[in-house]
Structure 1
Amino acid sequence: MCEQPRAGRPTVHDLRRRWKPQKERLGEGRPDHPTLIRFHRACSWLACAETLDLDQNSDLALISQWISLNAIYGQWDQIAREPLPDRECWRVFVQRIVELDQSGHLARALVSEKRLVLTVLDDRYLSDCFWRDDDSSGPQGKYKEKQRAHAWFAKEDWKLITERLIERIYLVRCQLVHGAATYGGKLNRRSLKNCATMLSHLLPAVLLVLIDHGADEDWGIMCYPPL
C-alpha cells in the first residue's frame, strides 16, 4: 500500500522525495528514461510556480503550472514530426490518470476544493460558449451548469470533473500564451487567480498518481528529448 502524503498540499520537495525510489529504480542502466525526464521537467516548472505569489503573479504562475502539466502529458507525432495537439493529449492523459488513481489522490483534491471547483466550472468567462457568442451562461444556463457539477460530484465522476476543469483552465492558458491578455491586467483577474489556485491543487495530485501508480506506465514519446 502506498504511503499517504502528509496533510495539506504536497510541495515540489515532497514530490521529489517521494519520487526518489522510483527515480533510482528507473534510472538503473537508463538515466535517460523518458518518464524520469518528464517528471524532472514537470517539477522544475512547478518549483518555479511555487515561488510566485498568486495575488501578484497569477499570470506567470498559471503559465508555469501549465508547462509543468504539459511536460507530463505532451506527445510527439512521429509522422508529422511535431507535438500532437494539446486537447487530444490531455484528454487521453486525464482518462489514464483517473484510471490509475487507486489511492484517490485526485478525488481528494477535488473534494477538498469543491467550492473552488464549482466556482471555476460556473464562471462564464471560462466557457468556450461565452466567447463563441453561443452563451448559455444566463441565469438558466448558469443554474444548469452548477446543477450538473453537483451531480458529477454525487456520482464521483472524477474524470468528467477534471476534464471540465482543464478545459476552462486551458482557455485561460491560451489567452495568456497567445497574447490575448495583458500582463498584470485588471480584467478577469479573479477568474485567472481561481484557475491558478485550482491547478496548484490538481497538479500535485496528478504527480502523486504518477509516482504511486504510473512510474512503470508507457507515457508515449515525449517532445524534444535532451540531446
Structure 2
Amino acid sequence: MSDSLTFHALKDKQRALRANFPENMSLRVHRAISWIGRADACGKDDDARFLFLWIAFNAAYADEREIQEKPQGERAAFLEFFGRLAALDTERRIYKAIWQRFSGPVRMLFENRYVFNPFWQHHNGIDGFEDWEERFKSSAHAFAQAFQSGDSTRVLSFVFDRLYVLRNQLVHGGATWNSGVNRAQVRDGAAILAFLMPVFVDMMMDNPTGNWGRPFYPVIE
C-alpha cells in the first residue's frame, strides 16, 4: 500500500470529511476502511488478508439492486463500479497504481493458470474448455492490449476476473488455509487488493456525491 494511503491516513481523511458525505456513501466508506484496517492486522497471513480485502471491496461496490433486480451477475456489477471510478479518475491514479506493480504481482497473476476459470472448467470435466491453454494466452494478450491503451475499466475487469476465481476458491472451501500448494496466487492477489482498495476508497471520498448506490444492508435503528 502507498505510504500516503495507509489505513490510518484513510481513516483520518474519513473523519475529517464525513460530515459532508451522503449517508449511503458514508456507510460504504466507513465499512470498507474498517476491513482494510483488519486486513492490515493480518501480518503474513495472506489468506486472511485477501478475504478481508475482498470484504472491503464488497462494502465499496455492492448495490442493493443486485438482490432486488437479479441482474447479469456479480461481474457485471464490478464493471459498473469500475466504469464509475475510471470516469472520475482524471489523474489516472488507478492506471498508475497498476503500472507501478505491473512487473510484480499483476504480471504474475496473468501467468498463473490456477486463477484462470477455463482451466478449472476443463479439469472439472466440463465440455467446451479443451482449448483452455489457447484461451489463457489470448486473455493475457487482451489484457496487455487494454493496459497499453490505458483502458482502466478493461484492465480492472481483467484483473478482477482472475481475483474472482481466487475468491471462489477460498470462500467455497477449495483451498487449505496457509497451504504450501499454490501460494503464489494468494500472495499476489492479496498484494493487488492491498494497493487498489485504498485507491478506490480514497477516490470515493474525493467524489462523495457520485452515484455509489445503496449498500446491501443499511443500518436499521
What is residue 90 of structure 1 aligned with on the other side? 78
> What code does the residue aligned with 1:204 have?
P
Q: CA deviation at 1:78?
A: 8.2
For 1:168-214, what per-residue CA distance to the aligned partner results, in whole angstroms no more than 9, with x for missing partners? 111111111111211122221111111111111111111121122x2
Correspondences of 1:1-227 after superposition (within 5 Å): 8=3, 10-26=5-21, 33-54=23-44, 57-77=45-65, 80=68, 85-115=73-103, 116-133=105-122, 134=129, 136=131, 138=133, 143-212=137-206, 214-227=207-220
Indicate the larger mover: 158-167 or 114-123.
114-123
Q: CA deviation at 1:75?
A: 1.0
Q: Supply the distance in 1 between the matched residues of 2:174 and 2:154 (Cα, whole angstroms).
A: 27
Aligned-partner SS, 1:24: helix
Q: Supply the distance in 2 between the matched residues of 1:172 and 1:11 (Cα, whole angstroms).
A: 24
> What code does the residue aligned with 2:52 have?
S
Q: Supply the distance in 2 between the matched residues of 1:141 and 1:93 (Cα, whole angstroms).
A: 26
Q: CA deviation at 1:83?
A: 10
Give the number of the structure whose residues are more often helix, by fraction.
2
Q: Supply the distance in 2 between the matched residues of 1:202 and 1:7 (Cα, whole angstroms).
A: 10
Indicate the larger mover: 146-155 or 102-111.
146-155
Q: CA deviation at 1:19?
A: 3.0
Indicate if the aligned counterparts of 1:126 and 1:168 stay in contact, CA closer than 8 A: yes
Indicate if the aligned counterparts of 1:75 and 1:84 stay in contact, CA closer than 8 A: no
For 1:47-74, what per-residue CA distance to the aligned partner results, in whole angstroms no more than 9, with x for missing partners? 00011124xx111111100000100111
Report how many residues are paired. 213
> What code does the residue aligned with 2:213 have?
G
Indicate if the aligned counterparts of 1:152 and 1:160 stay in contact, CA closer than 8 A: yes
Q: Supply the distance in 2 between the matched residues of 1:52 and 1:25 (Cα, whole angstroms).
A: 32
What is residue 126 of structure 2 aligned with on the other side? none
Aligned-partner SS, 2:21: helix
For 1:5-25, what per-residue CA distance to the aligned partner results, in whole angstroms no more than 9, with x for missing partners? x96461111112233343122
Q: CA deviation at 1:92?
A: 1.0
Q: CA deviation at 1:161?
A: 1.1
> What code does the residue aligned with 1:175 have?
Q
Q: Supply the distance in 1 between the matched residues of 2:143 and 2:212 (Cα, whole angstroms).
A: 30
> What code does the residue aligned with 1:131 have?
W
Indicate if the aligned counterparts of 2:143 and 2:158 stay in contact, CA closer than 8 A: no
Indicate if the aligned counterparts of 2:79 and 2:153 stay in contact, CA closer than 8 A: no
Unpaired segments ≥5 residues, structure 2 = 123-128
Q: Of the two structures, which has the highest relative contact order with CA contacts closer than 8 Å and spacing of 6 or more?
A: 2
Indicate if the aligned counterparts of 1:105 and 1:206 stay in contact, CA closer than 8 A: no
